């Protein structure tokens, strides 16, 4: 009988997604003795996983509940098959990207300030904001109070499962999409095309895993290549972007940014990124919707059934992805 290790933080009602003919071992970050498991459902945070790992014996498959497994690859030895949660976060993360993009295009951070100040007439400051963002000096009538996403050119860097969902959700806005992934295929270019595509993009979406190749991928040189007023959306990992270079670009009024991830993370109190102009920051929340864990457990259940049938699991991660 297959032995499956499940964190005690996962609601017992979600065990229904798993096959009945397995032996479930409930795992705690405070466990002290050894536990034999064949299939480990990894907690969605490094610290409890790191506390559990020294007590686990016989693990053949470590099934992450997250799309990113850079820290998990460093935790377990190479003889353990690591599987990521490809597909689990497609909906929630893609919705965050679209929402954050629209929020910046519609100046929601600015209008949040207007609401808190309770000053309706401040809405006309949006025209000046538009000019500062885009480096223009025009006067508009009626005044420009928001921008449109419709018709913009969007560059998706990391065109995998989530990236394709982002494109699908942006289609109603009639955007033009350019795609970059590690491997070229029809309609998708490699990172070598970044210098060509960055200057053309109104919105640059980062949704790559953190690897040696992608760490610091967006630095001062790449930010300088972006057009004036372009929006950088990071839903990947904080270290994909050089924080000092990003701060400099924001403070100079070169670009805008919507960030769900930062470097460092958690972002310390008082860090200058919190107050940087033209920036929207959410504290790594994009994947944490009510549908997260049910989707993760549904995937885990299918993986276990594959093992029971003697089949190879899906979403296996090798090397640096």
pLDDT value, residue 318: 87
pLDDT value, residue 320: 64
Residue 158 near residue 207 (C-beta atoms within 8 A):
yes
Burial of 281 (0-12, 13-18, 19+ CB in 10 A): buried
Q: What are the structure tokens assigned to 62, written together?
A: 């470590």
pLDDT value, residue 58: 97
pLDDT value, residue 68: 85
| Catalytic position from the list 3, 179, 237, 256 | 237
Render pLDDT for 86-105 as a digit per residue (tens, 0 to 9). Answer: 999 999 999 999 999 999 99
Instruction: Give CA–CA dist 260/233, Å, rounded.
Output: 8
Instruction: Give CA–CA dist 112/245, Å, rounded.
Output: 27
Q: What torsion do the CA atoms of 137, 104, 263, 184 make, to the nearest 10 degrees? A: -100
Fold of 90-106+147-281: Rossmann fold (3.40.50)
Query: Rounded mean pLDDT of the chain?
Result: 96
Is the previous residue joined to 30 through a cis bond, with omega within 30 degrees of 0? no
pLDDT value, residue 138: 83
pLDDT value, residue 93: 97
Is the previous residue joined to 266 through a cis bond, with omega within 30 degrees of 0? yes
**Which residues, given as ranges, of the chain have pLDDT below 70?**
320-321
Would you call 284 a catalytic residue per the annotation? yes
pLDDT value, residue 304: 98
Instruction: Give CA–CA dist 49/27, Å, rounded.
Output: 10
* The 3-state secondary structure of the chain, one letter per residue: CEEEEEECCCCHHHHHHCCCCEEEEEECCCCCCCEECCEEECCCCHHHHHHHHHHEECCCEEECCCCCCHHHHHHCCCCCEEECCCCCCHHHHHHHHHHHHHHHHCCHHHHHHHHHHCCHHHHHHHHHHHHHHHCCCCCCCCCCCCCCCCCCEEEEECCCHHHHHHHHHHHHHCCEEEEECCCCECCEECHHHHHHHHHHCCEEEECCCCCCCCCCCECHHHHHHCCCCCEEEECCCHHHECHHHHHHHHHCCCCEEEECCCCCCCCCCCCHHHHCCCEEECCCCCCCCCCHHHHHHHHHHHHHHHHHCCCCCCCECCCCC
pLDDT value, residue 321: 52
Render pLDDT for 122-162 as a digit per residue (tens, 0 to 9). Answer: 999 999 999 999 999 988 899 999 999 999 999 999 999 99
pTM over 0.95: no
Would you call 150 a catalytic residue per the annotation? no
Domain 2-88+289-308, CATH number (from 3.40.50.720, 3.30.70.1560, 3.40.50.300, 3.20.20.10): 3.40.50.720
Domain limits of the chain? 2-88+289-308, 90-106+147-281
Angle at 257 between CA 194 and CA 154, to 5 degrees: 45
**Domain 2-88+289-308 shares a fold with domain 90-106+147-281:** yes
């Amino acid at each position: 009988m297959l032995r499956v290790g499940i964190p005690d933080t996962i609601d017992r009602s979600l065990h229904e997604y798993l096959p009945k003919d397995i032996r479930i071992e409930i795992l705690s970050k405070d466990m002290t003795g050894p536990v034999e498991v064949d299939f480990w459902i990894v907690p969605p945070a490094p610290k409890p996983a790191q506390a559990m790992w020294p007590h686990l014996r016989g693990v053949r498959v470590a099934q992450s509940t997250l799309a990113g497994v850079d820290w998990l690859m460093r935790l377990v030895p190479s003889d353990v098959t690591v599987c990521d949660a490809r597909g689990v976060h497609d909906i929630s993360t893609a919705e965050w990207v679209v929402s954050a993009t629209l929020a910046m295009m519609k100046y929601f951070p600015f209008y949040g300030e207007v609401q808190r100040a309770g000053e309706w007439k401040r809405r006309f400051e949006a025209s000046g904001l538009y000019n500062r963002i885009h480096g223009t000096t025009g006067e508009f009538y009626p005044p420009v109070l928001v921008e449109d996403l419709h018709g913009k050119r969007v560059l998706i860097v990391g065109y995998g499962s989530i990236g394709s969902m982002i494109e699908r959700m942006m289609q109603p806005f009639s955007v033009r999409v350019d795609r970059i992934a590690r491997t070229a295929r029809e309609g998708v270019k490699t990172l070598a095309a970044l210098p060509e595509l960055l200057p053309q993009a109104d919105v640059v979406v980062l949704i790559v895993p953190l690897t040696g190749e992608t760490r610091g991928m967006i630095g001062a040189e790449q930010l300088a290549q972006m057009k004036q007023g372009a929006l950088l959306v990071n839903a990947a990992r904080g270290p994909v972007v050089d924080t000092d270079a990003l701060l400099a670009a924001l403070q100079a009024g070169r670009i805008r940014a919507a960030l769900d991830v930062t470097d460092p993370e958690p972002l310390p109190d008082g860090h200058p990124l919190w107050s940087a102009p033209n920036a929207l920051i959410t504290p790594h929340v994009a994947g944490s919707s009510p549908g997260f864990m049910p989707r993760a457990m549904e995937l885990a259940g299918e993986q276990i059934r594959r093992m029971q049938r003697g089949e190879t699991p899906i979403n296996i991660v090798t090397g640096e992805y």
